[in-house]
Amino acid sequence: MPRTSSSRPKSRRTFLKVASAGALMIPAGLAMPRLSRAVSRPVVTHGLQAGDVGVDHGVIWARADRPARAIIEVATTEGFRDARTLPYVDVLPETDYVAKLLVENLPAGHDIFYRVTFFDLADANAISEPVSGRFRTAPTGLRDVSFTWSGDTAGQGWGIDLDRGGMKAYATMLKHQPDFFIHCGDTVYADGPLAAEVDLPDGSKWKNVMIEEKAKVAETLAEFRAQYKYNLMDQNLLAFNAQVPMLAQWDDHEVTNNWSDSKVFDDRYTEKNVRLLAARAARAFHEFMPIAPVAAEQGRVYRKVSYGPLLDVFFVDMRRYRGPNGGNLEAEPGVNTVFLGRDQIEWLKRELLASKATWKVISADMPLSLLIWNDAENKKGFEGIANNEPGAPRGREMEFAELLSFMKAAKIRNTVWLTADVHYTAAHYYDPNKAAFQDFNPFWEFVSGPIHAGTFGPNELDMTFGPDVKYAKSADGTVDGLSPAAGLQFFGHVKIAGDTGVMTVTLRDVADAALWSVDLTPEQA
C-alpha cells in the first residue's frame, strides 16, 4: 500500500495535534453546511464506505450527484470535537462523482469517526448535509479481533425485495459488530438481469426493486457502475457499510459468468469483446469498492491487509491473470495452466515468508478442490482449480501444489483459507494423508455464501489435495437452486482471542444460527 508519510503508528495525542493544526482547512469561499442558502444542494447518493483498514490508515468512500468537492473530516470522538479536515477530493463525471481517499496518520487500535460533506463546484452556497460513518483501526498490541466473510450479492435474479426485508444477512452480520467484513467476490451480478416479479414455489412472489440498468446484462461502463449503485439502494447494506469496513476482492460476475479470454458470449450480449467488458467492469469495481490503490500495478486486486500482530489477510486474484478455461489436464506448465500467474505466486510467497502475524488468512475468490464446471449443464471444461482427476496435480492444480510445498518447506504456520463462490457453506480440512499430492502441511478451508443470492450445492470433490468435508449445508442438489426466501443465506464469523491467539471460526445463517464451529490453536514457531 503506498505511503505518503511515515508508516509508524500514530498515537491519539499525535492525532489531536494534527487535528488542531488542520481544524480550519475548509476551502476559502465555501460556507459550512448549516449556512447553505442554495435551493439545490448536493446529495450523498449511496451512503458511506470504509475499507482496507490498517494500524494507521483506511480508505473512505462516498458519492455525490453532481460535480462537487468532498470535504472529509476524521476524529476519535463521535462528536467530532477533535476533527481533522483532510485534503479535499474533487468529483467529476469521469469517475461518476465518486470520492475515494486513503486516510493516513490515524491512531492505532481506535474507533475512527468520519464525516463527508459535498460542496457544489458551481455554487459555493450549495452544500450537502454531512453524512457520518465509523471504523476501527488495527491494534499494535494484543486484543481480540473479530471479522466476517461471505460472497455473492444479488445473484440469480434475487435483488432487493422490500416486503421481505431486503438483504437481511447484512443486518445479521452487523449485530456482531465485526472489525471488518471480507467480501470474497461476486460483489455484484453484472450478468444477472432482474425481473420485477418472480414466482416462488409456495405461490408467493418475489418483488424486486427495479432500475433500468438491472433489466439487462451490463455492457457499458454506465451499466457496470449501476450494478453497484443498485446494491447500495439496500438499507441493510448502507447501515452495514457505515459501521463496518469492507475488504473486497472480485470474481467472475463483476464481468460475466465464468469469464476468461476463452469466453463465448450468448445472444444477450451485443458486445462480444471480453477484454473490453473486463476493462469496463474493473474500472467500475475500483470506483465503487473502498479498495486501496497499489502503486505497483494500476487496478490490482491482490494485496495484503495487516490487522495487527494477530492477523494478516492475503487477498488473491483468481480471475484477472488466468489462462483460458478448458480441460485443465496439462502435465506441464504453460499458457493454459496459469491461474494466479507467476508474479502473483512469487508475491504471495514473499509476503507469507515476511509475515510476523500469528494467523495468515488467504482470502480466495474460489475454493481449491470443489469441482466447478465451465459448462455446468454438460459437465465440460473447468472454471475452477480442480479437474476431476484425483491424482497428481495437473493443469491449474500445479500452481497450488507449488505454493503448498513452498509453505511447508518455509515452515509457514497457521494458514487458513477463506472463500465463497459456490453458494453454500462448508468446512474443509486438507489432510496430506488422504491426498494424492502429499507435500504440504494440513490446513483448513472455510466456505461461506451466498450473502444474498441463490443457494446451490453441494459440489463434488477432487481428492488431489485431500479435502475432508467436516461440515456442509447447501440446497441439497436442488437443480434450480433456492431463493433467499428459503433462509439458506450464509456468512462466516472469525474471532481471534487476544490472550491465547485461538481462532474460532463459526458458520452462520441469515437468522444468525451458529451452524458449526471450530477452535483452532496456533502452532508456535
d(CA 450, CA 150): 6
What is the average pLDDT value for the chain, to the nearest integer? Answer: 93
DSSP for 371-416, written as a single string? --EEETTTTEEESSS--S--SS--TTHHHHHHHHHHHHHTT---EE
Q: Report helix, strand or coil for 450.
A: coil
Q: Is residue 338 included in any domain, yes or no? A: yes
Residue 273 CA to residue 139 CA, distance in Å, equals: 46
Residue 24 pLDDT more than 50?
no
Same-domain status, 234 and 88: no
- Domain at 46, CATH number: 2.60.40.380
* Same domain assignment for residues 449 and 326: yes
Regarding whether 190 and 86 lie in a shared domain, the answer is: no
Could you give the number of structural domains in the chain?
2
Residue 27 has pLDDT above 70, yes or no: no
Mean pLDDT in residue range 136-159: 97
Domain termination residue (choose one: 136, 163, 188)? 136
Return d(Cα 241, Cα 248) in angstroms, integer.
12
The distance in angstroms from the start CA to the end CA of the chain is 28
How far is 25 from 71, CA to CA, in rounded Å? Answer: 9
Which domain, by its residues, includes 119?
12-136
Written as nine digits, the cell of 5 is 508519510
**Are residues 462 and 481 located together in one domain of the fold?**
yes
Instruction: Give pLDDT tens digits for 381-426.
Output: 999 999 999 999 999 999 999 999 999 999 999 999 999 999 999 9
Task: Band the pLDDT of 17: cuts 50, 70, 90.
Answer: low
Residue range 322-363, pLDDT digits in tens: 999 999 999 999 999 999 999 999 999 999 999 999 999 999
- Is residue 12 within 8 Å of 110, Cβ to Cβ? yes
Domain for residue 142, yes or no?
no
pLDDT > 70: what percent of the chain? 92
pTM for the predicted model, two decimal places: 0.94
How far apart, in Å, are the Cα atoms of 184 and each of 101, 149, 189, 482, 491? 22, 7, 13, 21, 11
Q: How confident is the model at residue 311 (pLDDT cuts 50, 70, 90)?
A: very high
d(CA 362, CA 313): 6
Q: pLDDT value at position 200?
A: 97
Half-sphere exposure of residue 415, counting CA atoms within 13 Å on the CB side?
26
Q: What is the pLDDT of residue 458?
A: 97
| Residues 174 and 94 both lie in one domain | no
Q: What is the CATH number of the domain that holds 496?
A: 3.60.21.70
Taking only the tens place, the pLDDT of each residue in 50-105 is 999 999 999 999 999 999 999 999 999 999 999 999 999 999 999 999 999 999 99
- Sign, Cα dihedral of 337, 340, 346, 348: negative
pLDDT digits (tens, 9 = 90+) for 215-270: 999 999 999 999 999 999 999 999 999 999 999 999 999 999 999 988 999 999 99
Q: Is the dihedral of CA 494, 257, 304, 295 positive or negative?
A: negative
Q: What is the pLDDT of residue 49?
A: 98
The answer on 458 and 323 residing in a single domain is yes
Q: Would residue 397 count as lying in a domain?
A: yes
| Three-class secondary structure of residue 281 per DSSP | helix
Dihedral in degrees, nearest 10, Cα atoms 18, 24, 25, 29: 180
Q: Tell me, yes or no, whether 121 and 48 share the same domain.
A: yes
Residues near 514 by beta carbon (within 8 Å), at least 6 away in sequence = 506, 507, 508
* Strand 415-419 versus strand 359-363 pairing type: parallel
Whether residue 120 is contained in a domain is answered as yes
Give the pLDDT of residue 3: 40
Confidence of residue 295 (pLDDT cuts 50, 70, 90): confident
Whether 223 is covered by a domain: the verdict is: yes
